[in-house]
């Protein structure tokens, strides 16, 4: 079994390589929703119109100075496994993977920038950075947006701003999302602090793969819900100076409390997780993610010294169902994946 994404499955995404506050903030992502004037929204677009939209966007990307060396994939032609792999790498959404008709994704080799064509809107432009890099991500995506707008006539209303298929994106069309690793807050039963901080700022808390997904391995995404009536700098400021530093502070305090007042309970979680990962012969993706989460915390609180963080971060991706099957080179059923996952983790950990 081979395909266009074989090599992608073997490499680490740039947004997993570590950045500011990366012990808690895994990544920063900014998306922009855009539609092209003269074309109907996708819910009213026939097959020919979808194809014309795809061609117009693709042409614009080839002319935009801010976009070079993009890898272009026709999502419509990819098999189910390759589409699932792109979802696991956060390059496309589940909606894009499960959609129908002409739709594409373009991304650069380090996967820091991606453009979905014909997802919910004509364009979904995305930039991802490792750690807390909100200003840097905004500067990059703003340049990409301007470069594309030089060759595309966006649907824009003087009063309402950018017009989008979903009313919650009307206005700036911006969606800021920060992925957080919060194992100590879960262990101390204080996750409600995260929910309350998000609600106070009218933000949403979601699982690892965004809307409609549950938190796995103590990973959470915090994102804005409203774009209308707020400027991009205001939304960016909410994340940079408001809710994210507060949540980071909560998690840091929870880790410190565990180390000071419940060291045995902390060590038990970490070393039980290590034992399972080093010796299990069958392990599900959810169970593996939870154990890896505890070991990752163990690295950052200086308990685990035999495993480097890069190896652990890579495992978070490579143990996912589509990645495992791509790396193995064959389709696997549920039990076979559990066997392969356990074997793969044991092999990787033994290399350290």
pLDDT in tens, 122-135: 999 999 999 999 99
Closest CA to 285 of 293, 275, 296, 274: 293
Quick one: tokens of 327? 């790396």
Q: Of the segments 203-212, 238-247, 285-294, which one has the largest average pLDDT value?
A: 285-294
Residue 212 has pLDDT above 60, yes or no: no
Q: What is the pTM of this model?
A: 0.91
* Residue 338 burial (C-beta neighbours within 10 Å; 0-12, 13-18, 19+): buried
Residue 215 has pLDDT above 70, yes or no: no
Cα–Cα dist 199/201, whole Å: 5
Residue 214: pLDDT band (50, 70, 90) is low
DSSP label at residue 242? I
Crossing angle, helix 263-279 and helix 285-300, to 10 degrees? 130
The string of pLDDT tens digits covering residues 39-62 is 999 999 999 999 999 999 989 998
CB atoms inside a 10 Å sphere around CB 250 = 20
Q: Which residues pair with 179 in a beta bridge?
A: 27, 221
Do 319 and 339 contact (CB within 8 A), yes or no?
no
Residue 226: pLDDT band (50, 70, 90) is confident
């Amino acid at each position: 079994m081979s395909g266009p994404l074989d090599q992608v499955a073997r490499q680490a995404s740039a947004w997993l390589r570590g950045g500011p506050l990366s012990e808690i903030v895994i990544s920063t992502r900014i998306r922009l929703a855009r539609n092209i004037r003269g074309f109907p929204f996708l819910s009213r677009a026939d097959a020919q119109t979808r194809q014309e939209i795809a061609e117009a966007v693709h042409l614009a990307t080839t002319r935009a100075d801010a976009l070079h060396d993009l890898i272009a994939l026709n999502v419509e032609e990819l098999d189910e496994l390759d589409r699932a792999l792109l979802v696991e790498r956060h390059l496309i959404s589940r909606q894009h993977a499960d959609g129908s008709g002409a739709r594409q994704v373009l991304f650069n080799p380090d996967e820091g920038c991606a453009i979905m064509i014909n997802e919910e809107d004509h364009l979904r432009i995305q930039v991802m950075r490792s750690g807390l890099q909100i200003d840097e991500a905004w500067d990059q995506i703003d340049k990409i947006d301007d470069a594309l707008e030089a060759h595309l006539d966006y649907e824009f209303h003087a009063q309402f701003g950018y017009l989008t298929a979903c009313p919650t994106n009307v206005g700036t069309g911006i969606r800021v999302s920060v992925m957080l690793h919060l194992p100590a807050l879960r262990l101390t039963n204080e996750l409600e602090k995260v929910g309350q901080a998000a609600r106070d700022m009218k933000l949403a808390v979601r699982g690892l793969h965004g809307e409609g997904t549950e938190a796995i391995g103590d990973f959470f995404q915090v994102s804005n819900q409203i774009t209308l009536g707020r400027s991009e700098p205001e939304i960016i400021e909410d994340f940079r100076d408001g809710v994210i530093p507060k949540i980071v502070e909560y998690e840091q305090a929870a880790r410190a409390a565990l180390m000071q007042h419940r060291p045995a309970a902390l060590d038990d979680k970490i070393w039980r997780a290590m034992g399972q990962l080093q010796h299990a012969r069958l392990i599900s993706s959810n169970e593996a993610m939870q154990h890896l989460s505890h070991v990752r915390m163990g690295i950052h609180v200086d308990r685990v010294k035999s495993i480097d963080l890069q190896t652990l971060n890579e495992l978070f991706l490579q143990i996912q169902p589509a990645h495992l099957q791509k790396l193995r080179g064959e389709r696997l059923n549920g039990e076979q994946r559990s066997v392969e996952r356990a074997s793969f983790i044991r092999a990787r950990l033994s290399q350290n």
